[in-house]
A and B are shown apart, each in its own frame.
Chain A
Amino acid sequence: MNLTLKIWRQSGPQDKGQFVTYRVSDISPDMSFLEMLDVLNEELNAKGEEPIAFDSDCREGICGMCGLMISGHAHGPEKTTTCQLHMRSFKDGETITVEPWRAEAFPIVRDLVVDRGAFDRIIQSGGFISANTGSAPDAHAAPVPKTAADRAFMAAECIGCGACVAACPNASGMLFMGAKITHLGELPQGQPERDARVVSMVNQHDHEGFGGCTNIGECSQACPKGIPQDVISQLNKDLRTALKHGR
């Protein structure tokens, strides 16, 4: 395959940045999208041009490190992570634009790399169950109904990639946050801190500069793990309950 790539280049946070056009040829449809960028980077390096910076680590769709806006779609045209996208999803001769996540809460570090530290800070604000090491009762002390366990698991599949934020016109982090609220809220262990958790996380979310949710649903469409929008309803419900309890 031969392709034209319009890639966002930005030398650092202060730089304005711009699209630069590259051409790649002889791309195998079996390559992953990131391997295609590896090939381009090798060519750039050979020509004496600095390679394009982009993030990836596991390249198996689980660590959440990768994430590119590909022709306007977070993680590209398929429902998967950027690293699991393969070139057979594109047509020979196609022009592809490649951009970083764009959101105020995710400042650009360089080229296609952004800073998602805001997600860590949201978790710090309450996305955990306080259980010091060594203090745990036997694992069978509290059975968890299978339906609750399965729903908790479904929500816990979130990989923290940030595609939901990048896809949302409001750059909202509600899907990410709703997933955590749902994961911990479904479990008996998560109950004692349930009210406090949702209030602190929502405050931190707003403080980081993420936008509000207006039920557009792009987040769930873009989510490589298929986190459903109803986790946001759960979040809203938990928030109302917490406020009622006077938190």
Chain B
Amino acid sequence: MTDNTTNPTGSSADSAAGSFYGGMYTEGTKVADHKAPDGPIDKKWTRRKFEAALVNPANRRKMSVIIVGTGLAGGAAAATLGEAGYHVKSFCFQDSPRRAHSIAAQGGINAAKNYKEDGDSIQRLFYDTVKGGDYRSRETNVYRLAEVSANIIDQCVAQGVPFAREYGGLLDNRSFGGVQVSRTFYARGQTGQQLLIGAYQALERQVAAGTVEQFTRHEMLEVIVDGEGEERRARGIIVRDLVTGEIETHLADAVVLASGGYGNVFFLSTNAMGSNVTATWRAHRKGAYMANPCYTQIHPTCIPVSGEHQSKLTLMSESLRNDGRIWVPKNREDCDKDPRQIKEEDRDYYLERIYPAFGNLVPRDIASRQAKNVCDEGRGVGPVVGDFRRGVYLDFADAIKRLGRAAVEEKYGNLFDMYARITGENPYETPMRIYPAVHYVMGGLWVDYDLQSSIPGLFVTGEANFSDHGANRLGASALMQGLADGYFVLPNTIRDYLAKVPPSTLKEDSPAVVEARKAVEERTERFLAINGERSVDSFHRELGNIMWEYCGMERSEEGLLKAIDLIRGLREEFWRNVRVLGSADTLNQSLEKAGRVADFLELGELMCIDALHRRESCGGHFRAESQTEDGEALRHDDEFAYVAAWEFTPPSGEQEGVGAGMGTPVLHKEDLVYEFIELKQRSYK
């Protein structure tokens, strides 16, 4: 094995001066989690729960918690804290909490129940998750996740979540994403929907009980941070009522961000249209560290882009790879032919060829990267989008021959129907076309074991935090994490904070509040005043293309440096040339989008800087300069076994003000220490 890593220009030379890649970032002090108690890993959570201070039931009513987001993470937390008697304010930008993006999850939710007696256990789920994350997650958090996973299923069943069952009336399980045990609980292809409806109903029950105040069509645009140094605390948020346009101030004893992932920085992703980074990015700008922002998961089986008009991408279950065979033509000349006319010997079943042992079932990142490679070579299929064809065949002809059409229909009928609806093609007759798409982000705000960010009083749960999946997430584990955080972890850790936090003296006219409010108002006015030539969407699309091209599955130093340049240029143009029509005092969807895209334009740069600095291939991403002789991912545990937690620095001097962007970010490393699991390189050959 050789390490093809080149020395980044100026990097090591610069590092002595504390600045890297010609001043792209600087390095600050290390960070660490101080909340996980000492002792054996299986005793830590019990101990933490015991040591966390209690709030007297009579006092809970007087304590208020803001929760931004009503997905699994936010909805579950709001319901649970409401049940406990706290005064909860719950926010979402959709017209109902039930519409949060969690609703779209299909495949299932993991839990170490071992109902199948196939050797599953907390220890095994813990191990699989750390390994799946390519040894870039924190052991303590992951262990706890595995530990509480079983309680989630109990809770959901009690709420009436209609999981799939066997004839005997017991819950059914399946094996998912290449793991060797059947630990995935599911509700046909609508697991996310059913889990979310469960959390939503629990939440609505608390609304009726008067413990939760619900604010729909409200978007959080700023977090209020009060105090200096040790006394600094998150004390509230500024939101815009999306219907009336009113800017409102909400104060509380603690703030929880459960605002989901930022995959839409790529414009095209499987995320919902409204998914965004604003809540977490605003918090980042106020001092919350953003951890591993470049860790993105790209899913191999999505329906390809059909044209320039494409607004989002649709995921199809990975299970399709169990029976479908992936191929492209050997010769470019065949790419626009009817695939059925292409002879067997002219087809390249490239996954079976390169990875004979795993074939079409290689992990998500490998399947995705190889699909991109063959398309980049000009051997993609389907319509030409941009300048080449972005698609590979997923062929069921053999499966239909082997199993019969009825069996294939039984297994995949609903997916085939969905495919036919979207593409207008019949997958029983012509091979499906698939292409990878951005699906999930492992990166997010840095949190400690208590899920508290680097701003005291600001907690982050679900996909919005970075906590549990390292550099790659296992299938069916995001739902598990969202509900673990929401039902079981946060309610236990936030009480420790609430029990100790001194009462707030903040008023609507306190400087911290006035300043946050003013920032929101100025930004809103600015968007409407620019009155340039280009629509918000056109900027978003262009940013997405840059991110996909240079900060997607495969990254290189040259590409990332170019991307950073392009993003800076685009951001500058945005603030000069965007056109947002209408006014601020009504429903104005262009204005909403403008705010989100403005934040994506900053996040995109930080993602590229993070990717640039991580000169290793790990988890879901491949770094061109770090590969083995035969072109496989090469991780560098000696250099990069840490969490990269980034601190925001405001732009300097004359650039200050609305839209000025960002200064040079500061990198804080959290060393990852593996006490219970041994580090190993992945190999699928």
Contact = CB atoms under 8 A, between A and B. Distances in A.
Do A and B belong to a common assembly? Answer: yes
B96 A120 contact: yes
How would you classify the secondary structure of chain A's contact residues: helix, strand, loop or mixed?
Answer: loop
Contact of B311 (A32, A65, A156): A32
Nearest to A154: B162
B487 interface: yes
B252 interface: no
Interface in A73-100: 80, 84, 86, 88
Nearest to B214: A120
A116 B194 CA distance: 20
Interface stretch (A139-147, A166-174, A210-218, A231-239): A139-147
Given A144-B165, A146-B165, A146-B167, A116 B154 contact: no
A3 interface: no
Given A109-B587, A139-B171, A142-B157, 9 more contacts: A12-B587, A38-B309, A58-B99, A63-B272, A65-B99, A134-B155, A149-B165, A153-B194, A160-B98
Contacts of B167: 146
Interface in B626-653: none
Interface residues of A, number: 76
Contact of A156 (B162, B202, B216): B162
Interface string B510-540: 0000000000000000000000000101100
A53 B587 contact: yes
Interface stretch (B323-331, B405-413, B418-426, B669-677): B418-426
Interface in A114-162: 115-117, 119-120, 123-125, 127-140, 142-146, 149, 152-153, 156-157, 159-160
A147 to B, nearest CB: 9
B311 A143 contact: no
Contacts of B208: 124-125
A242 interface: no
B155 A131 contact: yes
B569 interface: no
Contacts of B590: 45, 50-51
B227 interface: no
B59 to A, nearest CB: 19
Contact of B309 (A28, A48, A113, A117): A28
A60 interface: yes
Contacts of A125: 208
A86 B154 contact: no
A160 B214 CA distance: 18
Interface in B82-117: 83, 94-99, 101, 103-104, 113, 115
The 3 closest A-B pairs by CB, nearest first: A143-B169, A136-B158, A128-B201
Contact of B535 (A42, A53, A64): A42
Contacts of A134: 151, 155, 487-488
Contact of A130 (B154, B205, B274): B205
Interface size for chain B: under 10, 10 to 19, 20 to 34, or 35 or more residues?
35 or more
Contact of A139 (B153, B201, B535): B153
B439 interface: no
Contacts of A240: none
B422 A57 contact: no
A103 interface: no
Contacts of A132: 83
A145 B169 contact: yes
B157 A189 contact: yes
Contact of B204 (A62, A127, A133): A127
A45 B422 CA distance: 27
Contact of A129 (B115, B158, B491): B158
A64 B190 CA distance: 13
Given A30-B306, A31-B309, A49-B581, A124 B272 contact: no
A196 interface: no
Nearest to A120: B96
Contacts of B272: 57-59, 63
B307 interface: yes
Contact of A62 (B104, B200, B306): B104
A123 B165 CA distance: 26
A208 interface: no
Contact of B188 (A60, A84, A153): A153
B413 to A, nearest CB: 15
B154 A136 contact: yes
A80 B424 CA distance: 14
B73 to A, nearest CB: 14
A86 B587 contact: no
A189 B158 CA distance: 6
